């Protein structure tokens, strides 16, 4: 009976909220009527896509000539759009220098790569069929391949990651065919058994559309930090199956491979510019718009779309301010283009004063996928280890676009459809309020920096990391809507003060009801004790999110008590929950973070933990999973929760509430492993 009462109460509350939204003709969130009007008029999905078209011609690998050309292009646009403090920050990369937990990766440039099938004519082998050409499709060459040349027979080694894959196979001096990523087979195929190169048909991240298109060529990788210099070509599934059929019939396939590519000392080139704040004091605080610029050609959705969307935000807001249509924000808006994750972690360690100034982060990574990509748009929130009101702000503008675009697509008259003339008219249908990992915002969110973030992104995208991530699949309307959510959220955050409190607190109260409903549904998957634990931390995080306002506005004791009472009344119907108690000798142990090692353990092309951990067997937490949450997510949050106050039981309970139950001993083992590499230390 009690559960029925809970769900009836939640249902009634949601109906009331829904009816308010329906009867108010497209209400503008947080009183931002003027801002929304001008953004709808000025933001241009066409301009964003036109800029995107240029950089998708470039193979934007870290430190490469094409990456630098993309930087130069965006820099020229920033000057054209009259932004200020335009700067290219050059952070040296030599393969040894550490920036926090990121070992700097040297620049990688490729000049030539071709793979030919050979045919014997008279006594000579001559090239007859070109299988791969770097100049035509750069993705055919795995990143970090090194120069080499070989005429050799092709051998199918299967996955190539175990000794059994090489039974009765002679690969010495041969080229090996594998479905594994090239890096995974190097130790056996190249180093132990003497193969001269790799041909991989590794497939993309699994989605419902996996393997439907046999012509996709996947982005391949070799290790950056290795003494083994080899090369790898990437081919389509169709090409690989053709090779396999012929080899199975006993045919000998002779190939010729030639690669000219090298690593060299270089730099992480990070472009930044600002719209300076108007308040003499608050302008020292910044809201950072971020994206990652590096990616193989074409890389249209991933991530030319994010890069050009924040450029469009910069153009639009600066123009509206210059024309007097909106006021200059109190705080400074900063725009940053960098290499993915590695560039961000290098920047925040190389420029700690910048990290100190940034109070909020709005990250865009894959925000333009049209219907052909089968993508679903997300407005994702910060991890639970960092409760913040920023999530309510981002979700408010995301929800606004959802309703406006749905009504517009349904033929209703809409004040702010946020549609590009050359774009689609489909509803946005963004998913709101989930936490996802996978891009630079992880670094901002991480326990070393604790910068609350909104993460705008598409997932799934059936063409991610392939040669089909094309300009043709980009929708200008999607880019305009993404830019709108980012622009409105960032501008609002740049002005947050006491005057915003009434509408923002009202919004947070409404959002709690939605989240409570979702939490109750989530709880049904777990045992009763775990349900109580989830509820306990839900209310704790909600109150902490409210308290995060205190840094930006004056919250009276009465206002705080009123919000606490509001949550208490909800608890009467839903249940307040109870923190789980586990009798364990390690439960009361407390760890603190080593502030000299800043950043997440797994970064890009390098894993700090694995590089420093001395034991062969990895901690069980790294391979733990629950309800589609991976060990990597548990590990990321476990370290975030280390703060010198939380004991191991509290860390375990937080993790269980966020991702699903996990044994306390598994958490303790991981924390002790972090202790062994000097990342955390025990508080005596």
Q: What is the pLDDT of residues 576-588, one digit of tens each?
A: 999 999 999 999 9
**Cβ proximity of 554 and 646 under 8 Å:** no
Question: C-alpha distances in angstroms, 89 versus 54, 60, 336, 339?
Answer: 22, 17, 10, 12
Report which secondary-structure segment, H or E, holds 312. helix 306-322
User: What is the C-alpha to C-alpha distance for residues 89 and 76, in angstroms, rounded to an integer?
Assistant: 16
Question: Any alpha helices (H) in 182-284, and if so which ranges?
Answer: 182-185, 237-248
User: Which residues of the chain carry a pLDDT beneath 70?
Assistant: 1-26
pTM exceeds 0.85:
yes
- Kindly state whether residues 620 and 559 are assigned to the same domain: no
Distance of alpha carbon 605 from alpha carbon 607, whole angstroms: 7
* ∠ Cα 662 665 671 (to 5°): 95
Please state, in angstroms and rounded to a whole number, the distance separating the CA atoms of residues 167 and 13.
65
Q: Do 95 and 232 have their domain in common?
A: no
* Closest listed residue to residue 449, CA positions, set 352, 380, 334: 352
Spatial distance between the Cα atoms of 294 and 314, rounded to a whole number of angstroms: 20
Q: In degrees, to the nearest 5, what angle opens at C-alpha 603 toward C-alphas 606 and 601?
A: 95
Which H or E element spans position 154? strand 148-156
Peptide linkage before 303 cis (omega within 30 of 0): yes
Q: Is position 410 within any domain?
A: yes
Q: Which of 446, 462, 496 is the last residue of a domain?
A: 496
Long-range contacts of 187-195 (CB under 8 A, 24+ apart): 188/160, 188/161, 188/162, 188/163, 189/157, 189/160, 190/228, 190/230, 191/228, 193/166, 195/155, 195/171
Q: Has residue 222 been placed in a domain? A: yes
Give backbone dihedrals phi and psi of 588, rounded to 5 degrees, phi first: -90, 0
Segments forming the whole domain that contains residue 625: 591-682
Task: Quote the distance between the C-alpha of residue 597 and its chain's center.
Answer: 22
Q: Are residues 236 and 345 in the same domain?
A: no
d(C-alpha 251, C-alpha 21), whole Å? 68
Domain co-membership, 388 together with 271: yes
Q: Give the gyration radius of the chain's Cα atoms.
A: 26
355 and 475 part of one domain? yes
Based on the fold, state whether residues 75 and 141 are members of the same structural domain. Answer: no
- Report the C-alpha dihedral over residues 297, 303, 304, 305, rounded to 10 degrees: 140
Q: Are strands 84-93 and 266-275 parallel, antiparallel or unpaired?
A: antiparallel
* CA–CA gap between residue 247 and residue 156 (Å, rounded): 8
Q: What angle do CA 652, 359, 542 make, to 5 degrees?
A: 40
Say if residues 638 and 679 touch (Cβ distance below 8 Å): no
Dihedral over Cα of 439, 445, 448, 449: its sign: positive
b vs e for 8-33, b when ≥16 Cβ sit within 10 Å of the residue's Cβ? ebbeebeeeeeeeeeeeebebbbebe
Are residues 310 and 398 part of one domain? yes
Question: Of 496, 512, 535, which marks where a domain is finished?
Answer: 496
Residue from 476, 390, 399, 416 nearest 39 by CA: 416
8-state DSSP, 329: P
Domain membership of residue 490 (yes or no) is yes
The 3-class secondary structure across 522-573, one letter per residue, is: HHCCCCHHHHHHHHHHHHHHHHHHHHHHHHCCCCCHHHHHHHHHHHHHHHHH
Residue 278 CB-density burial (10 A; 0-12 exposed, 13-18 middle, 19+ buried) = middle
The 3 state secondary structure assigned to 608-631 is HHHHHCCCCCCCHHHHCCECCECH
Residue where a domain stops, chosen among 480, 496, 512: 496
Number of domains in the chain: 4
Q: Are residues 539 and 595 in the same domain?
A: no
In a domain, 23, yes or no: no
- Are 284 and 341 within one domain? yes
Q: What pLDDT is attached to residue 26?
A: 67
Q: What is the C-alpha separation between 646 and 673, in angstroms, rounded?
A: 17
How far, in Å, CA of 533 to CA of 580, rounded? 6
Return the axis-axis angle of helices 33-42 and 306-322, rounded to nearest 10°. 120
Residue 579 in any domain: the answer is no
Q: What is the CATH number of the domain that holds 117?
A: 3.50.30.30
- Whether 295 is in a domain gets the answer yes
- One domain, residues 349 and 248: no
User: Could you tell me the sign of the dihedral formed by the alpha carbons of 212, 214, 215, 219, in that order?
Assistant: positive
Same domain, 475 and 512: no
Q: What CATH number corresponds to the domain at position 488?
A: 3.40.630.10
Residues 6+ apart with CB under 8 A from 681: 591, 592, 594, 675
- The answer to whether residue 25 is domain-embedded is no
Q: Which of 40, 30, 28 is nearest to 320 (CA)?
A: 40
Q: At what angle do helices 557-574 and 528-547 cross, to 10 degrees?
A: 160
The verdict on residue 443 lying in a domain is yes
If asked whether residues 169 and 192 sit together in one domain, one would say: yes
């Amino acid at each position: 009976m009690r559960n029925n009462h809970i769900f009836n109460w939640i249902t009634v509350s949601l109906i009331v909220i829904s009816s308010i939204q329906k009867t108010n003709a497209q209400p503008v969130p947080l009183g931002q009527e003027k801002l929304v009007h001008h953004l709808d008029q000025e933001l241009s999905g066409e301009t964003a896509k036109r800029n995107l078209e240029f950089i998708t011609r470039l193979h934007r690998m870290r430190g490469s000539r094409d990456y630098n050309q993309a930087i130069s292009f965006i820099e020229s646009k920033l000057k054209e759009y009259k932004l200020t403090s335009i700067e290219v920050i050059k952070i040296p990369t030599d393969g040894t220098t550490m920036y926090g937990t990121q070992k700097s990766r040297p620049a990688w440039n490729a000049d030539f790569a071709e793979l030919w099938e050979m045919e014997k004519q008279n006594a000579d082998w001559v090239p007859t069929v070109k299988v791969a050409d770097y100049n035509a499709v750069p993705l055919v060459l795995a990143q970090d391949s090194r120069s080499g040349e070989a005429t050799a027979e092709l051998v199918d080694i299967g996955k190539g990651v175990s000794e059994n894959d090489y039974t009765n196979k002679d690969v010495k001096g041969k080229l090996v065919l594998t479905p594994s990523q090239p890096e995974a087979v190097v130790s056996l195929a190249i180093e132990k058994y003497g193969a001269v190169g790799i041909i991989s048909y590794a497939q993309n991240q699994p989605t419902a559309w996996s393997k439907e298109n046999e012509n996709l060529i996947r982005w391949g990788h070799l290790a950056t930090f290795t003494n083994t210099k080899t090369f790898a070509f990437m081919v389509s599934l169709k090409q690989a199956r053709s090779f396999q059929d012929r080899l199975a019939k006993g045919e000998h396939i002779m190939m010729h491979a030639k690669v000219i590519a090298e690593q060299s000392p270089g730099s992480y080139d990070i472009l930044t510019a600002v719209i300076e704040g108007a308040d003499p004091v608050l302008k020292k605080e910044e809201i950072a718009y971020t994206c990652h610029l590096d990616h193989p050609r074409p890389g249209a959705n991933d991530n030319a779309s994010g890069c050009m969307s924040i450029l469009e935000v910069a153009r639009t807001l600066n123009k509206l301010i210059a024309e007097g249509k909106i006021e200059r924000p109190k705080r400074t808006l900063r725009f940053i283009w960098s290499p993915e994750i590695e560039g961000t972690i290098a920047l925040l360690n190389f420029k700690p004063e910048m990290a100190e100034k940034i109070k909020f982060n709005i990250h865009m990574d894959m925000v333009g996928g049209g219907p052909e990509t089968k993508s679903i748009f997300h407005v994702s929130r910060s991890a639970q280890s960092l409760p913040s009101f920023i999530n309510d702000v981002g979700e408010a503008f995301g929800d606004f676009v959802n309703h406006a675009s749905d009504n517009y697509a349904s033929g209703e008259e809409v004040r702010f459809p946020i549609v590009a003339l050359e774009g689609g008219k489909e509803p946005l249908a963004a998913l709101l309020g989930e936490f996802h990992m996978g891009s630079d915002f992880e670094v901002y969110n991480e326990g070393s920096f604790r910068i609350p973030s909104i993460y705008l992104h598409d997932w799934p995208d059936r063409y991610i990391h392939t040669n089909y991530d094309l300009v043709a699949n980009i929708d200008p309307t999607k880019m305009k809507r993404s830019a709108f959510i980012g622009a409105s959220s960032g501008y609002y955050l740049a002005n947050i003060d006491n005057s915003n409190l009434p509408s923002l607190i009202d919004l947070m109260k409404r959002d709690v009801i939605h989240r409570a409903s979702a939490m109750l549904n989530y709880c049904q998957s777990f045992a009763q004790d775990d349900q109580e634990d989830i509820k306990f931390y839900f209310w704790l995080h909600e109150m902490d999110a409210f308290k995060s306002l205190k840094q930006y506005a004056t919250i009276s004791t009465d206002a705080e008590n009123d919000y606490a009472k509001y949550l208490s009344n909800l608890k009467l119907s839903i249940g307040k929950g109870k923190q789980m108690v586990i009798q364990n000798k390690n439960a009361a142990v407390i760890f603190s973070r080593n502030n000299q090692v800043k950043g997440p353990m797994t970064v890009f092309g390098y894993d700090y933990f694995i590089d420093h951990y001395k034991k062969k067997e990895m901690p069980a937490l790294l391979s733990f999973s629950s309800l589609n949450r991976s060990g990597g997510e548990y590990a990321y949050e476990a370290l975030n929760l280390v703060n010198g106050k939380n004991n191991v039981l509290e860390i375990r309970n937080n993790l269980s509430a966020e991702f699903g139950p996990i044994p306390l001993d598994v958490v303790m083992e991981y924390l002790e492993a972090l202790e062994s590499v000097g990342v955390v230390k025990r508080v005596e």
